[in-house]
Amino acid sequence: MLTAEDKKLIQQTWGKLGGAEEEVGAEALWRMFHSYPPTKTYFPHFDLSQGSDQIRSHGKKVVAALGNAIKNLDNLSQALSELSNLHAYNLRVDPPRFSLQFLSQCLQVALATRLGKEYTPEVHSAVDKFMSAVASVLAEKYR
Amino acid sequence: MVNWTAEEKQLIASVWGKVSVEQCGAEALARLLIVYPWTQRFFASFGNLSSPTAIIGNPMVRAHGKKVLTSFGEAIKNLDNIKKCFAQLSKLHCEKLHVDPENFRLLGDILIVVLAANCGKEFSPACQAAWQKMVRVVAHALAHEYH
């Protein structure tokens, strides 16, 4: 469960990205495709080469959704409701609790490479819990 | 037999060359206990684990972290024979320590975040991919002798 301290750390950390959010999103996706090739199976319609416009634009979407979730940490279920429907009924990506861990890991690595020492154990824990909560909400309607 | 490309071996070695085994080991283990607090169940005899500060400063955690990462170093020296290299450790984790292998995956991922924080931009996507493969292979080897 996200504590008040967790929420503060998450918002602060996101704030530190200072406009680089989109880059972080694209990088996280690229890392995910590289480290976990099976995740590419959900994007046969994409140009998955490095720096592709589609990866950039999808990274931007993902990050916007996360940014929105971060503004609504007290009501994740509602904030992510549309996305939850989309994942459950349209995209049917392998239930987020399995796949999201790959995106979560890659997002964390992208954040850690940028923040270095500032990616403290407490921040690490808060972000990990946040991504876990997002995954739970996205998986809610699967069945 | 795991196939390592020359590039993967080079990426693994180059990151490893920059790592302080003592520092990174301590940090990785501490983060495991902080980010996934249920893993503290294996360390009841380690004393004060009551807060992130306590865990990070705990000398037993630091020492054990160093031990764990030193072991990792053995795997890196024996990339072509990791299963054999870890056979004894695997039996130990199963028969004496009773550790659910899922925890090896958790520690592996945490180690990668620690490496990323330490190496910054140098921890490229290609680097990460080689290391994700590395930790997966190590986790698999550690689980191999379970019965």
pTM for this model (two decimals): 0.91
In angstroms, what CA-CA distances link A122 with A60, A97, A125, B65, B82? 26, 22, 5, 18, 33
Mean pLDDT estimate for chain A: 93
Q: What is the pLDDT of residue A97?
A: 67
Q: What residues of chain B lie within 8 A of the CB of A98, using their CB? A: none
Q: What is the pLDDT of residue B15?
A: 96
Structural domains of chain B, with CATH: 7-143 (1.10.490.10)
Please compute the mean of the pLDDT values over residues A72-82 and round it to a whole number. 95
Q: What residues of chain B lie within 8 A of the CB of A104, using their CB? A: none
Structural domains of chain A, with CATH: 4-41+48-139 (1.10.490.10)
Q: What is the pLDDT of residue A96?
A: 72
Three-state secondary structure readout of chain A: CCCHHHHHHHHHHHHHCCCCHHHHHHHHHHHHHHHCHHHHHHCCCCCCCCCCHHHHHHHHHHHHHHHHHHHCHHHHHHHCHHHHHHHHHHHCCCCHHHHHHHHHHHHHHHHHHHHHHHCCHHHHHHHHHHHHHHHHHHHCCCC
pLDDT of B73 > 90? The answer is yes
Residue from A30, A35, A106 whose CB has the most chain B CBs within 10 Å, to mutate:
A35
Residue of chain B whose Cα is closest to the Cα of A127: B35
| pLDDT tens-digit readout, A30-57 | 999 999 998 998 899 999 999 999 999 9
pLDDT of B16 > 70? The answer is yes
Cβ separation B35–A31 shorter than 8 A: no
pLDDT of A94 > 90? The answer is no
Phi and psi angles of residue B51, each rounded to the nearest 5 degrees, phi first: -155, 160
From the list A109, A117, A125, the residue facing B128 with the nearest CB is A109
Q: What is the pLDDT of residue A38?
A: 87
Please compute the mean of the pLDDT values over residues B59-68 and round it to a whole number. 97
Q: What is the pLDDT of residue A116?
A: 97
Share of chain A above pLDDT 90, in %: 79
Q: What is the pLDDT of residue A141?
A: 87
Q: What residues of chain A lie within 8 A of the CB of B33, using their CB? A: none
From the list B30, B35, B117, the residue facing A117 with the nearest CB is B117
Please compute the mean of the pLDDT values over residues B107-122 and round it to a whole number. 97
pLDDT of A99 > 80? The answer is no
